[in-house]
Chain A
Amino acid sequence: MELRKSYFADVRKDGLNEIGQPRPRLDSPGHVTGKTAYFADRNFPGMLHLKMVRSPHHHARIRSIDTSEAEKHPGVVRVLTAKDVPHNVYTILILIQIGPEDETVLADGKVRWKGEAVVAVLAETERAAQEAAAKVKVDYEVLPAVFDMEEALKPGAPIVNEYHGQNYYLYDSGECRKVRFGDVEAGFAQADHILEQSYQSSPIEHAPTETTGCVVAPEGNDRFTCYTNTQAMFFTLDNASIILQMPGSKLHFVGGTVGGGFGGKVDVIVEPIAILAAKLTGRPVCFIYSREEEMQVSSPRAAEKVVIKDGVMKDGRIVARKVTGYTDAGAYSRHSPYGAQKGAAHYPGPYTIPNVWIDTYCVYTNRTPSSAMRGFGVTIGDFALEVQMDKLARLIGMDPLEFHFINAYRDGDMKAHRQPTEGAALIECMQEASRAANWPVAEKYMAISSYGKGE
């Protein structure tokens, strides 16, 4: 198989030859010489270390918090609890009107997942902060927890998050995001075969080599510079402004090279509390996740469950598809309502199906809040859809690649969520894949195009 490293440059005659040519990355010289500055490479005299006291329970009421012993520990400068945070209840996507605010910066009266931040300890050294954090006494009353999405949706399940009032995100369309196209029941009645399958995935941690964190320096004029490895600079700036009740002009965010993100650094978690700590102590502050925190506390990709019911004809046409998708948001929304909504648009796949019925639920459980990761809302769905496509092909005794050609969407086809298909290249990609993988298909499939209906 030939893999070309350069595209189009050889056929252009206008001198615009840069696109498609390999060029050295601008950041590589810094990487190979060790000169690239990551946020943690900033060091300031007198910098304090922030360590978080975290919930050991999946769901519990906080009866009391006693920080007196921690405050007396040598090297401790300040201990922060919920009452120190100006606007403690927030949600990241409030900036694009996806509410309600449902998450605490520091737990207030309740914890909803194991690992939730409860008390922040600031000390002269990392070790002193760690030792003092262990001396914070939190009296918990353990509450029943729910870890399974379908259990969470049953009547009588423990309510995970009172800011929602029920264990699902309430869309403007109701308890789930819905897509309705054609008449799915009529499609099933017409089908030669029906196949219903269920697909499930576990949460996945991004595991970047550089852990999440930030370094904050007070500038002495009530302005604060925050060096951070966020992947979402302006979400972080604006949410920090809301949480701290400070105008954005007081906050100077410096990003730069991120030591691996993969979507795991788009939440707004470390920066607001570190800026608050710098403001209240007047000292530079660093808050850097340990490897354990990165793996156990940072948002993973959501666990998902996808139930697909397809009606298919013997000639290979899929005539009906009904999908129910479940996204496990964990205890708080973060980016999951958006991910679940993306799934609703995506579940028909790159296929033209005349009758489609989709429900996607964003479900709250007492698990680690999930959030963005590479194609979230789509990636797990694609796994489910493509396994389903191969099963359907086997069911009717058809070559799976030919089965894909029969159902592939083409320009002009209306998608189930009412966006006309434009710029489709699935057929052309599959034709190239057929040749490259030496997986021949009937000549008629090699003759069709995404851009015309002629076969």
Chain B
Amino acid sequence: MAKVPVQFTLNGSEKAEFVESGTTLLHALRDKIGDTSPKGGCHQGTCGACSVIIDGELRLSCLTLAETCNGADIKTTAGLAEGGMLHPLQRAFLDAFATQCGFCTPGMIMAAKVLLDRMPNPSREDVVEALSGNVCRCTGYEPIIQAVLTAARANSQNAA
């Protein structure tokens, strides 16, 4: 089958791959480039485990074709920590016991990051709305909501 070239920035690094036309970004990231932080939970856009950030927007990588990402700036949870320092969201997820099996966690953190980038001081309702596309089967969501609110508070204190 004919392959198409794809080139984008992943967590600040230039990446180039040849993929079969129709390959999802999730497949390209995980199986071609080796960033396995986005997870495949449903491959039909309903669970949010594959969430990544493309040009600042939250996207489901299982429903995004790799060939549509040429020139894009893509961020995943694997690239969030800087120089060994956890991002405030990662720290908050740790401290709030917001992970159990961990499978939804990278997608949850992506959704939360897009929220906090736009809205540094979200209400609880804003957090619930922002995470509503991400399924967690273990925690019952409450520790995750608390983690996002805690990270928001930590951010605003750092800014002040």
Contact = CB atoms under 8 A, between A and B. Distances in A.
A36 B77 CA distance: 12
B105 A32 contact: yes
Nearest to B90: A32
A279 B46 CA distance: 35
B41 to A, nearest CB: 4
A290 B43 contact: yes
A209 B78 contact: no
Contacts, number: 101
Interface stretch (B53-61, B64-72, B120-128, B135-143): B135-143
A34 B89 CA distance: 13
Contacts of B39: 38, 209-210, 259
A248 interface: no
B109 A32 contact: yes
A208 interface: yes
A290 B37 CA distance: 19
Interface string A231-270: 0000000000000000000000000011111100000000
Interface stretch (B2-10, B92-100, B152-160): B92-100
B41 A209 contact: yes
Interface stretch (A23-31, A76-84, A348-356): A23-31
B99 A38 contact: no
A346 B1 CA distance: 59
A32 B99 contact: yes
Contact of B101 (A32, A33, A41, A260): A260
B103 A32 contact: no
Nearest to B42: A291
B102 A27 contact: yes
Contacts of A262: 137
Interface string A429-451: 00000000000000000000000
A125 B1 CA distance: 11
B15 interface: no
B137 A32 contact: no
A117 B47 CA distance: 26
A291 B102 contact: no
Nearest to A207: B137
Contact of A291 (B41, B94, B95): B41
Q: Which of B37, B103, B109 has the most CB of A within 10 A?
A: B103
A40 interface: yes
Nearest to B107: A209
B47 A32 contact: no
5 contacts: A28-B99, A29-B94, A34-B106, A40-B36, A257-B101
Closest 10 CB pairs of A and B: A34-B37, A31-B102, A259-B103, A41-B36, A32-B90, A291-B42, A31-B99, A34-B77, A34-B78, A209-B41
